[in-house]
Amino acid sequence: MKAVVYHGPGAKSWESVPDPTIEDDTDAIVRVDAVTICGTDLHILKGDVPAVTDGRVLGHEAVGTVEAVGAGVKNVEPGSRVLVSCISACARCRFCRQGRYGACVGGGGWILGHLIDGTQAEYLRVPFADTSTYPVPEGVSDEAILMLADIGPTGYEVGVLNGRVSPGETVAVVGAGPIGLSVMLTAQLYSPGRIIAIDLADARLEAAKRFGATDVINNGREDAVARVMELTDGLGADVAMEAVGVPATFELCTKLVRTGGRVANLGVHGAPATLALEELWIKDVTITTGLVDAYSTADLLRLIVAGRLDVGPFITHRFALGQFMDAYDVFANAGETGALKVVLARDGSSG
């Protein structure tokens, strides 16, 4: 089969590799029908994730059709359409028993396209298939469900639920890339009074308006702290979400939050950030961090089926599987291409 193979920082190719096979009796082999690229894949390609080694098939998001299952798999069978989550769950370890699947110590967690071969391929092996996949309901498109492999639950769990967004509140989201937009979209499930999007790119702020932002601030031109204070009677945001992953944006969030408010960090950080305790100690703030656990995936799936969550606007570009190198170029140059999520489909249409 063909797959996107990592060959060290800056090097990848769409090339022939051996077909995956069942290795454990809880495995499934899934034919990939629709797949996407994550910002995390770009971090890997920069060399930021040293656990990913030469020869690894990239990708941790897919929708596909089960081809074969091990003897121990009970919930899916050949022919089933499934969502393959970015998080695999052994379902037995201490953390899985608490619903903290992202922290799985029984062989799961974020392993696809990281510690084992991933989804950017014609076929993949899915470990713990019963507890790491979700059946796709009839009548829902592959590309819509694909948005729940990672960005949907990440924005909702690590942003909205960790940040405890409540009705009427002001939510400030720093970073209007796919994850920040996912926060804005799913925050609306809790009816905030205001959603303030903050970013350096006007194109992303335009996208933010389509995802529910009521106010946008370009912090390259405007003082984001002053503007947020103006919008909140001088108090600050009830909750500030960090969706970039650099020190400056985390530090900005701690300045935007009101006394008694929450800062929810979603960004993947590669450098230390300053925690200004000399200012924060008296402010009663709560700061949360986390990797997605994907415990909310089935809830979000029901919202899509019910027509109450529209993930369609995430998808800006569509390709056939064989066009992976072009898709990477478009996604990596989001500033010029306006790419949010690119979808690659087996039949080239991703419907």
Q: Compute CA distances 276 → 137, 212, 250, 254, 255, whole Å.
A: 48, 31, 11, 8, 9
**Count of residues in contact with Zn ion, rule CB under 5 A:** 9
150 contacts Zn ion (rule: CB under 5 A): yes
247 contacts Zn ion (rule: CB under 5 A): no
Residue 288 in tokens: 């949360």
Shortest Å, Cβ 201 to Zn ion: 20
Binding mask 22-41 for Zn ion (x = CB under 5 A): ----------------x-x-
Q: Name 66's bridge partners.
A: 30
249 contacts Zn ion (rule: CB under 5 A): no
| Residue 43 contacts residue 10 (beta carbons within 8 Å) | no
Q: Which of 106, 135, 313, 338 binds Zn ion (CB under 5 A)?
A: 106
Q: Which of 29, 57, 96, 198 binds Zn ion (CB under 5 A)?
A: 96
Q: Residue 38 or 330: which CB sits closer to Zn ion?
A: 38
Q: Which of 29, 45, 104, 241 binds Zn ion (CB under 5 A)?
A: 104
Q: Residue 237 or 291: which CB sits closer to Zn ion?
A: 291
Shortest Å, Cβ 311 to Zn ion: 15
Q: Residue 236 or 245: which CB sits closer to Zn ion?
A: 245
Q: Compute CA distances 227 → 90, 173, 204, 212, 222, whole Å.
A: 46, 13, 18, 18, 8
Shortest Å, Cβ 98 to Zn ion: 10
Shortest Å, Cβ 49 to Zn ion: 11
Shortest Å, Cβ 96 to Zn ion: 3
330 contacts Zn ion (rule: CB under 5 A): no
The 3-state DSSP class for residue 148 equals coil
Shortest Å, Cβ 36 to Zn ion: 9
Residue 129 in tokens: 């298939």
CA torsion, ordered 217, 222, 227, 228, to nearest 10 deg: 50
Q: Name 164's bridge partners.
A: none
Q: Residue 66 or 93: which CB sits closer to Zn ion?
A: 93
Name which of residues 71 to 90 contact Zn ion (CB under 5 A).
90
Element (H, E) at 328: helix 324-332
List all residues 6 or more positions away from 131 whose beta carbon is below 8 Å from its beta carbon: 88, 89, 90, 91, 96
CA 160, 166, 172, 178 torsion-angle sign: positive
Shortest Å, Cβ 16 to Zn ion: 25
* Residue the block writes with tokens 């639920």: 161
Residues that bind Zn ion (CB under 5 A): 38, 40, 90, 93, 96, 104, 106, 108, 150
